[in-house]
Amino acid sequence: MSGKEAGGSADGARGGQVTVADVQELIRRKEELEEQIRANFAVLDGQKGVGMNEPLVDCEGYPRADVDLYQVRTARHNIICLQNDHQAVMKQVEEALHQLHARDKEKQARDLAEAQQEAASAGLAPGPGPHTPQAFAKVGSVSAGSPASKAGLQVGDEIVEFGSVNTQNFQSLQNIGTVVQHSEGRPLNVTVLRSGQRHQLRLVPERWAGRGLLGFNIIPLQR
């Protein structure tokens, strides 16, 4: 797949309103690229474990006779092209998620303003209603010493917002994974409900002694 092909539908999406379906399509293409990259690395592994940088000539400067030079060069070229496409698609996913998030924020603000205006017209104080943000996932476990633990996340916290992901655009845990991949070393704003109270936390995905970049497990909530 070429870089032009990788950017095609996303450019079309940017020309109008980005939808959840657009994001799902980008994620599907990202996974396809990752599978193709793995397949080409497997070709290199099959050539006596040749990687991306090993020389293809022997100590005397002659082409190596123990590997298929055509296959190795082709696989290396494919991997470079596919990795460039993958990087472009990942950027498009992030931009699309941010657009969805911004649009949802604007809609929530409009809905709240309308609710307050209606309440004022009726002589009532606005209270929590259908426009109150709802949680889409719950924290199942938090590892000691992890980035999640340092940020103050606790077991039982209900997640309302995780970076650009919220109830309106959350589809699966893949949404969280995509945001985390693009935010390593950078703080994410996380909003949780704890004992009925909202808490704003700053979580920095980073490498630590345990697995992954977060060190916690979340469970999607049925809506």
- How does pLDDT run across 14-35, given as a tens digit for each residue? 456 778 888 888 889 989 999 9
The domain over range 137-220 is classified in CATH as 2.30.42.10 = yes
Residue 99: count of CB within 10 angstroms of its CB = 19
Which contiguous run of DSSP H or E holds residue 160?
strand 158-162
Quick one: tokens of 80?
């470079």
What is the pLDDT confidence band of residue 12, given thresholds at 50, 70 and 90? very low
**Helix, strand, or coil (residue 153):** coil
Using one digit for the tens of pLDDT, what is the confidence trace for 110-153?
Answer: 777 777 676 666 655 444 444 456 888 999 999 999 999 999 99
DSSP line for 91-147: HHHHHHHHHHHHHHHHHHHHHHHHHHHHHHHTT----S-TTS----EEEEEE-TTSH
Q: Is the pLDDT of residue 104 over 90?
A: no
Q: What is the pLDDT of residue 11?
A: 47
Res 76: pLDDT: 92
Q: What are phi and psi of 108, to 5 degrees?
A: -60, -40
**Arithmetic mean of pLDDT, 68-84:** 93
pLDDT score recorded for residue 32? 93
The b-or-e profile of 155-164 (16+ CB within 10 A means b, else e) is eebbbbbbbb
Mean pLDDT of 3-8: 46
Quote the pLDDT of residue 192.
93
Sign (positive or negative) of CA dihedral 167, 173, 176, 178: negative
User: What's the pLDDT tens digit per position in 165-194?
Assistant: 888 888 888 888 888 888 888 899 999 999
Model confidence at 50: pLDDT above 80: yes
Domain range list for the chain: 3-105, 137-220
